[in-house]
């Protein structure tokens, strides 16, 4: 067996055939010396040959070639070698190999070992990393066994970042759950530890999808420690809606969790409690999806509140009501003054009346000369059958009597007929339905919308009366050629397919003879995967495919075959190409050859033009294949590359025309890359720049020398980013060596080089960064250097660099260190970060101070030692409004729940500064909404401080209503009443009308307490509490109307006038 003979043999095979042949050669290697020699020669050859040589390992089981190939310059060879090493290498060989690999290949090999269940081997390797304190130990430890991970975590958790927690939860969900529970129980409160809250949310999201009960367990633990609004619960809500509803209701805190999508799955008492207490978490949009008993109870609770100001309840809501309430609402709407002049809107509600009553009411409208009103009335009468099944025959009789109506009226009747539940139609009524369809088809003005209604009616009856429905569908198809199966929303059953096929079979040859290709294609789509059960249609589609001149029809038929009868393509595609070479222009044929029959590709690689039904033959074909080239032979890739190069080299081609050929050339690993590399010097700038980007994708890194060369000229801005892709996949030492040799004359290059060195994460890379810091650097490069130090945040030297930068006058440099993330920092490093932020808060430039304040307030940093207190309190007095505002937000976010006295002193010092005081209280109110109970001590302190100044009444009222417990609210308002002036009264009214959003609200009790007070100002607030109950969802019920009447008779004009200008619907 000689290599050249074997390669020539492979040239005529498909990719699958080549791979099987090489496995066979591998099996022969154990007993055939020539086979072993051939394999050895292949392993020393081109990328293609090395891949073939490696493929023989699947037959021989020899891991030695694969171990050597792990260092191959070809990315494709290395990837195959990883799979083989995991499969055949011994434990000792794998351990030795892992130490030589770049991180991405190391991770790939470890995942392969997991799939091979070689878990003990993985533990051995991870244990070695731990022993030598490898920099990648934290990144790789989640891949070990649960026992090893559990032993390793205590030393790592303090430095785990979000990505680490995601990996841990994905690989060991039970362990992640246990660790989070332990962290929560060990802390003083999750709300006071934003970092822990971030960990919790990361784990919650991952667990909610895969193990929702574990996620729920965490949420239950946290429910008393942190507002549920701080947790990411949207995934868990879909999995455990009842349990989450229970927790939300028990919290008595406002929540952003929205229950509309899961409302039908809730218990009735939970549903009613949410509608009553959490109007921002659930609303009427879910009403029609509720179960009947749920709808009845929810309507009883919320029906009045859902009415518009004119008293109108949405038609779809009335339609979903139980019979008694539905009829009552229908009668009310028909008498509603607001609808007396809106005839068409009013008529719709008549569908909810008892049949005789609906007929009597609609009689004059059915006879109207106005076609629109007549259509609405007739459609409404038919719609009434939904609730009056005994009168379905009356509806059929009505439609039959109106068979000569103009199409808009006919369409309304047919649409409502089709919308009725299918259970309304019995076998004895099918003759009338047949006549209705016949009458409609005979109408000369029958519109497509009316045809659609006929099809909908027939399709809906297909499961119940398949023989009849199939005959009617066939009739409509034959006479109107409108091929649809509307609202089926599923695949046909085998029985339905047979009935429909039996009716349609006589039509198939007729349509075929008439060349009605689109009709036959539409039929094929109707049968979908059941097309396999209609061989006659498949035969006709096959014939169409061989004869059609329409490329879209041919493409669609091939797509159907690929999806539902893929075995046909194996015979059909070669035959089609034999008939007409232009079939290769169809994507389905081109892709089939690319994926399955590479042996047929060679004639179509652009060396010859083909004339046929889908191409003129004037130009050579340029295949649009962009991937899968690894399945081709080198000869095929070279032929196609010649074609691509001829096009790309045409200087009159615009850049966009050359981009795809360059991408294709870059994806072919078996060609000489020199031709592609030459485009890195193309005079067309767009072509040149794109070629540089493509060089980074070359399989064996052939573009590296050119990219490095380009760093020294005007191509550097593109080349450095192209190099990034290559360098981060290299072994760290090799990547660092290249980066150290890179010229840094250009700022763009220098910045990216510095960043890349930082991302290597090795000790040698850190030393290089420290050496670079000693040099005189451009500002942008210095900022990049500071960013590179983020990979070394556990090193004291890094923080020394950050502190020096924080004191520099340059705004950009100082702001750069203010963005250091807290995620993944150890306890020591977090203290360093707080010290750094304190330094930045004292920076002379306001832009630096404000950006630091925004970061502190936005990230909710933990500052148990109050490192930032003094500068933050000082900045609350800033003369710059934005700075003072951001300072107050940072103070509240960081200290409000733990240091209420400190907050009080800060506010006391602002009492004389009205603008700053107003802004500060507004900022406090914004954080209060999601943590009222937790912030209650701070709220009491603030109220006490504000009470020292009589001119803060409006602010006190706002804070009282937003922050005090509900059972203290009435007494607090009564206490403040003597101070109420006009402006404070008006503002308090507005605040009370928004109280309905508080879950623990009992507005009726508040109203009664205030209404009984002799002070008219409090009675005016009681009126606001009454109106808030209407807004809350209760609507103007009889009880509220009666109470409004009493306010309208109040002795004080302050109360009576406002009450008399409320107009309940």
pLDDT in tens, 942-969: 999 999 999 999 999 999 999 999 999 9
CA distance 971 to 412: 60
Beta strand pairing status for 615-616 and 611-612? antiparallel
Vertex 390, ends 388 and 396: CA angle to 5°?
A: 90
Tens digit of pLDDT for each residue in 252-271? 887 888 999 999 999 999 99
Q: Give how far Cα 602 sits from Cα of 584, 593, 632, 638, 640, Å.
A: 12, 10, 9, 10, 9
Residue pointed to by tokens 């995942």:
111
Vertex 756, ends 751 and 761: CA angle to 5°?
A: 135
For residue 490, give every residue at least 6 positions away whose Cβ sits within 8 Å of its Cβ, in sequence order, or none.
Answer: none
Please state the domain extents for the chain: 3-230, 822-945, 949-1065
Q: Which of 751, 798, 803 has its CA nearest to residue 779?
A: 751
Q: Which residues face 611 on adjacent strands?
A: 616
3-state helix, strand, coil split of the chain in percent (to 5) is: 70, 0, 25
CA distance 338 to 1034: 21
CA distance 205 to 441: 56
Q: Give how far Cα 35 sits from Cα of 9, 10, 45, 160, Å.
A: 14, 15, 15, 52
Q: Which strand (E) or helix (H) includes residue 604?
A: none
99, 132 Cβ separation under 8 angstroms? no
Residue 516 half-sphere exposure, CB side, CA atoms within 13 Å?
A: 19
Q: Which of 404, 396, 484 has its CA nearest to residue 448?
A: 484
Q: Give how far Cα 183 sits from Cα of 190, 195, 200, Å.
A: 9, 11, 9
484 three-class SS: coil
What would the mean pLDDT of 63-71 be, rounded to a whole number?
Answer: 95
User: What tokens does 1034 get?
Assistant: 């209760």
Please say if the pLDDT value at position 192 is more than 70: no
CA distance 476 to 451: 8
Please say if the pLDDT value at position 1042 is more than 80: yes
CA distance 976 to 953: 8
582, 613 Cβ separation under 8 angstroms? yes
Please say if the pLDDT value at position 674 is more than 90: yes
User: What tokens does 957 get?
Assistant: 């009222």
- When pLDDT is cut at 50, 70 and 90, the band that residue 972 belongs to is very high
Please say if the pLDDT value at position 188 is more than 70: no
- When pLDDT is cut at 50, 70 and 90, the band that residue 408 belongs to is very high
Cβ-in-10-Å burial (0-12, 13-18, 19+) of 340 comes to: exposed
For residue 19, give every residue at least 6 positions away whose Cβ sits within 8 Å of its Cβ, in sequence order, or none.
Answer: 55
- When pLDDT is cut at 50, 70 and 90, the band that residue 191 belongs to is low
What would the mean pLDDT of 835-856 be, rounded to a whole number?
Answer: 95
326, 387 Cβ separation under 8 angstroms? yes
Please say if the pLDDT value at position 977 is more than 70: yes
Q: Which of 49, 50, 55 has its CA nearest to residue 635?
A: 49
Tens digit of pLDDT for each residue in 3-32? 899 999 999 999 999 999 999 999 999 899
| Dihedrals phi, psi of 17, to nearest 5 degrees | -60, -40
C-alpha dihedral sign at 306, 311, 315, 318 = positive
616 three-class SS: strand
Model-level pTM?
Answer: 0.84
976, 953 Cβ separation under 8 angstroms? yes
3-class secondary structure per residue, 281-307: CCCHHHHHHCCHHHHHHHHHHHCHHHC
The pLDDT assigned to 1001 comes to 84
Mean of the per-residue pLDDT values of the chain: 93
The pLDDT assigned to 867 comes to 94
CA distance 384 to 350: 8
- When pLDDT is cut at 50, 70 and 90, the band that residue 1038 belongs to is confident
For residue 127, give every residue at least 6 positions away whose Cβ sits within 8 Å of its Cβ, in sequence order, or none.
Answer: 144, 148
Tens digit of pLDDT for each residue in 99-137? 889 899 999 999 999 999 999 999 999 999 999 988 889
Please say if the pLDDT value at position 1009 is more than 80: yes
- When pLDDT is cut at 50, 70 and 90, the band that residue 1053 belongs to is very high
CA 1032 centroid distance within chain: 33
User: What tokens does 973 get?
Assistant: 């308002």
What would the mean pLDDT of 1037-1053 be, rounded to a whole number?
Answer: 93
Convert 541-553 to b/e letters by CB count within 10 Å (16 or more is b). Answer: bbebbeebeebeb
739, 756 Cβ separation under 8 angstroms? yes
For residue 473, give every residue at least 6 positions away whose Cβ sits within 8 Å of its Cβ, in sequence order, or none.
Answer: 455, 458, 459, 462, 485, 500, 503
**What own/partner pairs with CB < 8 Å and gap ≥ 24 does 867-870 have?**
867/831, 867/834, 867/835, 867/838, 868/834, 868/837, 868/838, 868/841, 868/894, 869/895, 869/899, 869/902
Vertex 94, ends 90 and 98: CA angle to 5°?
A: 175
38, 6 Cβ separation under 8 angstroms? yes
Q: Which residues face 616 on adjacent strands?
A: 611
Q: Which of 1038, 1063, 1035 has its CA nearest to residue 299?
A: 1035
Tens digit of pLDDT for each residue in 335-379? 999 999 999 999 999 999 999 999 999 999 999 999 999 999 999
C-alpha dihedral sign at 417, 419, 423, 424 = negative
What percent of the chain is modeled with pLDDT above 90?
A: 81
| Dihedrals phi, psi of 366, to nearest 5 degrees | -65, -30
Q: Which of 488, 481, 479 has its CA nearest to residue 458?
A: 488
**How many Cβ atoms from other residues are within 10 Å of residue 570's Cβ?**
11
Q: Which of 511, 519, 516 has its CA nearest to residue 482?
A: 519
| Dihedrals phi, psi of 595, to nearest 5 degrees | -100, -30
Dihedral-angle region of residue 487 (phi above 0 means left; psi in -120 to 50 means alpha; beta otherwise): left
CA distance 734 to 727: 8
What does the DSSP 8-state code read for residue 446?
-
Q: Give how far Cα 334 sits from Cα of 174, 381, 767, Å.
A: 60, 15, 84
Please say if the pLDDT value at position 861 is more than 90: no
CA distance 27 to 50: 17
9 three-class SS: helix
Q: Give how far Cα 161 sits from Cα of 133, 164, 166, Å.
A: 18, 5, 9
832 three-class SS: helix
Q: Which of 521, 529, 460 has its CA nearest to residue 491?
A: 529
The pLDDT assigned to 563 comes to 94
Residue pointed to by tokens 């040099």:
775
Q: Which of 373, 448, 461, 374 has its CA nearest to residue 417?
A: 461
Of 422-426, 548-552, 1054-1058, where does mean pLDDT reach its minimum? 422-426
Q: Give how far Cα 296 sits from Cα of 278, 318, 319, Å.
A: 19, 11, 12
The pLDDT assigned to 811 comes to 95
| Dihedrals phi, psi of 875, to nearest 5 degrees | -75, -15
Q: Give how far Cα 715 sits from Cα of 719, 741, 840, Å.
A: 6, 17, 38
CA distance 27 to 59: 5
The pLDDT assigned to 251 comes to 86
CA distance 891 to 878: 14
The pLDDT assigned to 189 comes to 54
């Amino acid at each position: 067996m000689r290599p050249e003979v074997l390669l020539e043999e492979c040239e005529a095979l498909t990719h699958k055939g080549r791979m099987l042949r090489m496995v066979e050669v591998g099996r022969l290697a154990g007993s055939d010396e020539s086979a072993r020699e051939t394999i050895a020669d292949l392993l020393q050859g081109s990328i293609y040959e090395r891949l073939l040589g490696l493929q023989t390992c699947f037959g021989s089981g020899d891991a030695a070639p694969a171990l050597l190939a792990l260092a191959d310059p070809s990315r494709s060879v290395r990837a195959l070698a990883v799979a083989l090493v995991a499969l055949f290498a011994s434990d000792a060989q794998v351990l030795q190999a892992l130490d030589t690999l770049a991180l991405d290949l190391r991770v790939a090999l470890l995942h392969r070992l997991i799939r091979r269940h070689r878990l003990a081997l993985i533990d051995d390797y991870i244990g070695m990393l731990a022993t030598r304190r490898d920099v990648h130990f934290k990144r790789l430890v989640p891949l070990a066994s649960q026992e090893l991970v559990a032993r390793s975590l205590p030393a790592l958790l303090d430095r785990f970042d979000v990505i680490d927690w995601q990996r841990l939860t994905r690989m060991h969900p039970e362990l992640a759950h246990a660790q989070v529970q332990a962290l929560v129980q060990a802390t003083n409160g999750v709300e006071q530890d934003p970092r822990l809250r971030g960990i919790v949310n990361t784990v919650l999201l991952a667990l909610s999808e895969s193990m929702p009960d574990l996620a729920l367990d965490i949420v239950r633990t946290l429910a008393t420690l942190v507002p549920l609004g701080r947790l990411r619960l949207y995934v868990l809500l879909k999995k455990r809606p009842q349990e989450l509803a229970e927790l939300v209701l028990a919290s008595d805190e406002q929540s952003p969790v929205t229950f509309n999508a899961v409302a039908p799955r809730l218990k009735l008492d939970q549903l009613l409690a949410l509608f009553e207490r959490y109007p921002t978490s659930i609303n009427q949009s879910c009403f029609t999806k509720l179960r009947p008993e749920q709808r009845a109870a929810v309507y009883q609770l919320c029906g009045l509140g859902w009415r518009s100001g004119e008293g109108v309840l949405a038609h779809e809501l009335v339609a979903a009501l139980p019979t008694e309430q539905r009829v009552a609402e229908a009668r009310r709407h028909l008498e509603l003054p607001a609808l007396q002049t809106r005839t068409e809107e009013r008529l719709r509600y008549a569908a909810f009346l008892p049949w005789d009553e609906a007929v009597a009411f609609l009689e004059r409208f059915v006879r109207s000369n106005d076609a629109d009103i007549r259509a609405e009335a007739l459609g409404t009468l038919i719609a009434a059958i939904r609730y009056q099944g005994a009168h379905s025959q009356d509806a059929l009789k009505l439609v039959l009597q109106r068979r000569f109506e103009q199409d808009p009226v006919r369409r309304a009747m047919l649409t409502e007929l089709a919308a009725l539940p299918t259970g309304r139609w019995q076998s004895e009524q099918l003759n009338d339905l047949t006549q209705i369809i016949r009458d409609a088809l005979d109408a000369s003005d029958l519109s497509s919308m009316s045809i659609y209604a006929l099809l909908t009616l027939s399709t809906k009856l297909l499961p119940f009366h398949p023989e009849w429905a199939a005959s009617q569908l066939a009739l409509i198809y034959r006479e109107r050629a409108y091929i649809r199966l509307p609202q089926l929303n599923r695949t046909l059953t085998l029985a339905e397919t047979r009935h429909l096929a039996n009716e349609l079979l006589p039509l198939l040859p007729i349509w075929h003879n008439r060349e009605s290709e689109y009709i036959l294609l539409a039929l094929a789509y109707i049968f979908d995967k059941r097309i396999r059960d209609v061989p006659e249609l498949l035969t006709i589609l096959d014939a169409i495919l061989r004869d059609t001149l329409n490329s879209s029809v041919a493409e669609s038929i091939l797509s159907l075959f690929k999806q539902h009868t893929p075995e046909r393509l194996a015979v059909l595609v070669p035959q089609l190409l034999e008939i007409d070479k232009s079939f290769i222009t169809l994507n389905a044929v081109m892709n089939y050859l690319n994926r399955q029959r590479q042996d047929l590709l060679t004639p179509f690689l652009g060396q010859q033009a083909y004339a046929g039904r889908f191409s003129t033959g004037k130009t050579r074909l340029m295949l649009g294949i962009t991937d899968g080239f690894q399945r081709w032979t080198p000869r095929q890739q070279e032929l196609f590359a010649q074609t691509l190069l001829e096009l790309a080299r045409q200087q009159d081609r615009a850049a966009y025309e050359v981009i795809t050929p360059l991408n294709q050339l870059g994806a072919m690993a078996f060609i000489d890359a020199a031709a592609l590399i030459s485009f890195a010097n193309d005079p067309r700038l767009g072509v040149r720049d794109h070629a540089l980007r493509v060089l980074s994708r070359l399989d064996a890194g052939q573009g590296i020398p050119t990219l490095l060369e380009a760093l020294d000229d005007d191509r550097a801005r593109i080349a450095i980013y192209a190099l990034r892709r290559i360098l981060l996949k290299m072994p760290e030492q090799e990547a660092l060596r290249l980066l150290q040799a890179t010229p840094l004359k250009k700022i763009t290059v220098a910045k990216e080089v510095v960043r890349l060195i930082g991302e290597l994460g090795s000790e040698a890379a850190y030393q290089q960064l420290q050496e670079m810091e000693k040099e005189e650097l451009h500002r942008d490069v210095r900022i990049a250097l500071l960013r590179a130090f983020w990979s070394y945040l556990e090193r004291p030297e890094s923080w020394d660099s950050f502190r020096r930068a924080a004191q520099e006058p340059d705004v950009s440099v100082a702001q750069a260190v203010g963005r250091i993330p807290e995620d993944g920092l150890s306890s020591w490093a977090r203290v360093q970060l707080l010290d750094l932020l304190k330094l930045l808060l004292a920076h002379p430039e306001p832009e630096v101070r404000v950006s630091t304040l925004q970061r502190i307030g936005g990230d909710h940093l933990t500052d148990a030692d109050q490192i930032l207190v003094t500068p933050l309190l000082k900045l609350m007095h800033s003369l710059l409004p934005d700075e003072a505002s951001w300072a107050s937000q940072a103070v509240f976010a960081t200290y409000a729940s733990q240091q209420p006295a400190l907050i009080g002193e800060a506010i006391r010092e602002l009492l004389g500064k009205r603008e700053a005081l107003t802004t500060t209280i507004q900022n406090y109110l914004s954080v209060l909404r999601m943590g009222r109970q937790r912030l209650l001590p701070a709220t009491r302190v603030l109220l006490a401080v504000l009470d020292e100044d009589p001119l803060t009444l409006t602010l006190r009222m706002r804070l009282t209503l937003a922050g005090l417990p509900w059972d203290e609210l009435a007494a607090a308002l009564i206490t403040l009443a003597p101070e109420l002036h006009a402006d404070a009264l008006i503002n308090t009214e507005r605040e009370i009308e928004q109280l309905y959003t508080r879950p623990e609200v009992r507005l009726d009790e508040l109203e009664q307490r205030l209404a009984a007070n002799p002070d008219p100002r409090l009675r005016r607030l009681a009126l606001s509490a009454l109106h808030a109950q209407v807004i809350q969802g209760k609507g103007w019920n009889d009880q509220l109307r009666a109470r409004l009447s009493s306010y309208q008779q109040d002795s004080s004009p302050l109360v009576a006038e406002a009450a008399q200008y409320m107009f309940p619907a």
